[in-house]
Amino acid sequence: MDDLDALARQQLDEARASAHGRSARLFLHDDRLRQTVIALVEGAALDEHNAPPAASLQVLRGRVRLTGAGGGQELMAGQVAMTPRERHGLLALEDSAVLLTAVMEIPAGARPSTLTGTDRR
């Protein structure tokens, strides 16, 4: 079992040492499920990219802005949000570490719920 606090500290140290100001570690990969700790120094960004079928972003440390259509959403340590389903990016408003939980494929007929994460039919 991984210690998220230790992973966040380690990734932030690596991001601070990186010329690009970011670092990531995929620490759980089980079939369709992936969990990654991503660290960004203040002002660093993940450029706009396509969204997986379902994902959430939990801020472990710092403050970030999910960018994209509609101007984006600001999140701070302790907050969690679903990632936009359209193209989006991530900007660090201060040194930050986030936990990205992504489902890379959703079985046919299943539909993620915005309320509970379960299939509501």
pLDDT at 120: 34
Residue 106 in this model has a pLDDT that exceeds 70: no
Residue 79 in this model has a pLDDT that exceeds 90: yes
Q: What is the pLDDT of residues 54-68, one digit of tens each?
A: 899 999 999 999 987
Residue 113 in this model has a pLDDT that exceeds 60: no
Map out the domains of the chain with their CATH numbers: 4-103 (2.60.120.10)
Separation CA 79–CA 98 (nearest Å): 10
Phi, psi for 13 (deg, rounded to 5): -60, -45
Categorize the per-residue pLDDT at 9 as very low, low, confident or very high, splitting at 50, 70 and 90.
very high
pLDDT at 111: 55
pLDDT at 63: 98
pLDDT at 118: 43
Separation CA 77–CA 107 (nearest Å): 32
Q: What is the mean pLDDT of residues 87-104?
A: 94
CA distances from 55 to 6, 34, 58, 60 (A): 22, 9, 10, 16
Q: Work out whether strand 63-68 and strand 33-40 pair parallel, antiparallel, or are unpaired.
A: unpaired
Q: What is the mean pLDDT of residues 40-51?
A: 92
